[in-house]
Structure 1
Amino acid sequence: MGVSMRDVAAAASVSVGTVSNVLNAPDKVSPATVARVQAAIENLGFVRNDAARQLRAGRSRCVGLVVLDVGNPFFTDIARAAERAGGEHDLTVLLGTSDEDVTRETAYIDAFDEQRVFGLMVSPIGDDLERLDALRRRGMPIVLVDRDASGSPFDSVAVDDIAGGHLAAGHLCGLGHRRIAYVGGPPALRQVADRRRGAEDAIAAVPDATLEVIETPSLSVLAGREVGDRLQRRRPTDRPDAVFCANDLVAMGVLQSFTMLGGTVRVPDDIALIGYDDIDFARSAVVPLSSIRQPTRRIGSTAVELLVAAAADSPQRHTPNNPVFQPELVARASTLGAP
């Protein structure tokens, strides 16, 4: 049987209440008593029972973070930033990936709810937020990540993806490209739809420019490689002269297809290529990849700050906060050519 708080109290010659104060509110205890209790904890090997404490408090010090794809460095960077920010508030971030699957997303949300987490940060797949709204009304702090929820009862942190899509397509048009393809999917993802909308707005401003939409089942390297293979099988006159991918993983797949042994397309001489997110791999690709940069660290840390602020309010009194950051164009050799 493990060492209990009662054992620590006996060893330190204090009450159980004093041990509890040392663990949870040490400022209420004299420094000498704190030192004596901490010495007893160390000597006995006492480990705090957070599960029991969580049941008494009704909420743990853990935060659930559900992202679309933990294999995407964009979400990995957000998670790392959230972990650092959470540590400043004595919060531990638990990470789950939905893999763009609604069933998995729901399972993670339910599991975190059963664990009575401090709050939830979710990058939702679709627009059905009923389950999250039920948790919010019940008092669970909720922050939507990489999703602008302005006008809703949710806190959120996002990047203006319409502006980002406009930047990418506008960059390609500005370089003289007119047959542009937008590659990404599934289209139900808000990020995919918004980036496409921004590209369409930019293309509409150029009279002789056209936009071909090529949907993919996922935002993965493999999906991009399959698109690249299909484009190479077209006649050169039937190909786009530039490709805008909904994220860098898809763009990396397209680039791999073009540059692998037997590839017939040169980047950017035959087809210019731009991605989205500016992950670390983008700048180190065989042809450095142009991309639209998102402030991942600010997204992760801001999500935690919003969650902590929401936890301090009641659901009825809380006013949602919905910061939207602006993306940035990073132009490299895949659109500009060799320096």
Structure 2
Amino acid sequence: MSVSVREVAARAGVSVGTVSNVLNRRDAVRPATVERVERAIDELGYVPNDAARQLRAGQSTTIALVVLDIGNPFFTDVARGAEERAVESGYTLLLANSDDSVERESAHLDQFERQRVAGVLVVPTSSAQPRVSQLRAHGVPVVLVDRGTADATLASVAVDDVEGGRLAAEHLLSQGRRQLVFVGGPEDLPQVQDRSAGAHSAVGAVEGAGILHVPTAALTLDDGMSAGAEVRALVRAGRCDAVLAANDLLAIGVQQALLSGPDPVGIPREVALVGYDDISFAAAAVVPITSVRQPRRVMGATAVDLLLREAGLAPAAAREHVVFQPELVVRASSTVPAPPDAPA
């Protein structure tokens, strides 16, 4: 239960106006009174910027969403689903882009807390989430998006990325491919870790199969094109007959790199290709790309639903952890079996 200004005033033996002055114009209050009020604040655990209390009282109608890369159509679709559900519920959605930067993420969260938003949806930049913990300690409801968590008191919406990586790799293996390459990074990003783990699990279950990792600095089209040069060298050296990219932008970049130049690599004749997310550009690629589909708009809408339920829960109560199952969408980039003379 949130502590009110009236409770602080009663504990300190002063008026509500005096508490307000201590919080906003402390130079207008005698030092002894300031000390008494601050002691009451500490004893009661009062948080001036209590957005959860505002949400219960119906005073705030703004929800914030912080994503890793607004240029990625995956996050655009998540945001669209969140906005649609927010509007249906009488709220406005503010969108911010962290650009996979911890500093930018923190700056956005600081600003949203100052604006006293009703709550925050965040795709966190790392597994460590100190700023998220601070927000919640200050009474701001938070839901993690596209990220699971072991914290039972923190709500989350995610997709089973380990299963997604496994599905993609099993499909490639079923096509006779045995020399897989996983393209993706940063390596500390949980989604990349989980998708890689799923792929490694599938490969490990097939005798004679192997998997290499081509790391990238980010999950962008340009990073995919850069990785494509390394993939090309592996293909020509007989060390790669299939590629699993950590997302579709990387997959599209890899495809462009492989198909360009004086010595193009045949897709899927020489190398099969699978992406992740199933954004619209994957289906529209020169060679339509097989991809692991995530319910992007549903994820955004579900995150808003969870957030709007947050205000009615006690601080220590267990939150909901919604985990969707991925779906493999097979297209031309992976459906031709490896040629008989392909490396085993």
* TM-score (norm: length of structure 2): 0.79
CA deviations over 1:177-221 (Å, ceiling 9, x no partner) = 000000000011100000000001001100110010111000000
1:186 matched to 2:189? The reply is no
Unaligned runs of 5+ in 2: 1-53, 338-344
Could you give the per-residue CA deviations for residues 88-134 of structure 1, whole angstroms, max 9, x where no partner exists? Answer: 11111111111111111111111111110000000011111122112
Q: Which residue of 1 aligns with 2:175?
A: 175
Q: In the alignment, residue 69 of structure 1 is paired with which amino acid?
A: D
Q: C-alpha separation between the residues in 2 aligned to 1:120 and 1:111?
A: 11
Q: Which residue of 2 aligns with 1:159?
A: 159
Task: Provide the secondary structure at the position in 2 that maps to 1:108.
Answer: helix
Gaps of 5+ in 1: 1-53
User: Letter of the aligned partner of 2:318 in structure 1?
Assistant: T
Report matched runs for 1:1-80 at 5 Å.
Answer: 60-80=60-80
The residue aligned with 2:218 is 218
Tell me the equivalent position of 1:95. Answer: 95
Question: Hey, what does 1:305 align to over in structure 2?
Answer: 305
Q: Residue 49 of structure 1 corresponds to which residue in structure 2?
A: none
Q: What are the Cα deviations for residues 16-36 of structure 1, in whole angstroms up to 9, with x where unaligned?
A: xxxxxxxxxxxxxxxxxxxxx
For residues 152 and 243 of structure 1, the distance between their equivalents in structure 2, rounded to whole angstroms, comes to 36
Question: Superposition pairs for residues 221-260 of structure 1, below 5 Å?
Answer: 221-234=221-234, 236-260=236-260
Tell me if structure 1 keeps the 8 A contact 2:234–2:240: no
Contact conserved, 2:153 with 2:315, CA < 8 A, in 1? no
Look up the equivalent residue of 2:173 and give its one-letter code. C
Query: Residues 65-93 of structure 1, C-alpha deviation per residue, up to 9 Å, x if partnerless?
Result: 00110000000000000000001111111
Distance 2:178 2:261 in 1: 28
Per the TM alignment, residue 337 of structure 1 is displaced from its structure 2 partner at its CA by: 4.0
Contact 1:169 1:203 survives alignment (8 Å): yes
1:321 partnered with 2:320: yes
Does the Cα contact within 8 Å between 2:214 and 2:230 map onto a contact in 1?
no
Q: Partner letter of residue 319 of structure 1?
A: A
How many angstroms does 1:305 deviate by? 0.1
Contact kept? 2:175, 2:336, Cα under 8 Å: no
- Equivalence for 2:334: 335
Aligned pair in 2 of structure 1 residues 236, 141: CA closer, same or farther (>3 Å)?
same
Q: CA deviation at 1:239?
A: 3.6
Contact persistence 2:86–2:304 (CA under 8 A): yes
Match of 1:289 in 2: 289
Alignment pair present for 1:268 and 2:268: yes
Q: Distance in 2 between matches of 1:185 and 1:123?
A: 16
Residues 124 and 144 of structure 2 are in contact (CA less than 8 Å); yes or no, is this contact kept in structure 1?
A: yes
Amino acid of the structure 1 residue aligned with 2:130: E
Please tell me the root mean square deviation across aligned C-alpha atoms, in Å: 1.8
Q: Is the 8 A contact 1:139 1:314 kept in 2?
A: no
TM-score (norm 1): 0.80
1:84 aligns with 2:84: yes
Amino acid at match of 2:284: S
Q: Does the aligned pair in 2 maintain the 1:150–1:322 contact within 8 Å? A: no
Identity %: 47
Equivalent position of 1:197 in the other structure? 197
Q: Which deviates more from structure 2 when the two are superposed, residues 178-187 or residues 135-144?
A: 135-144
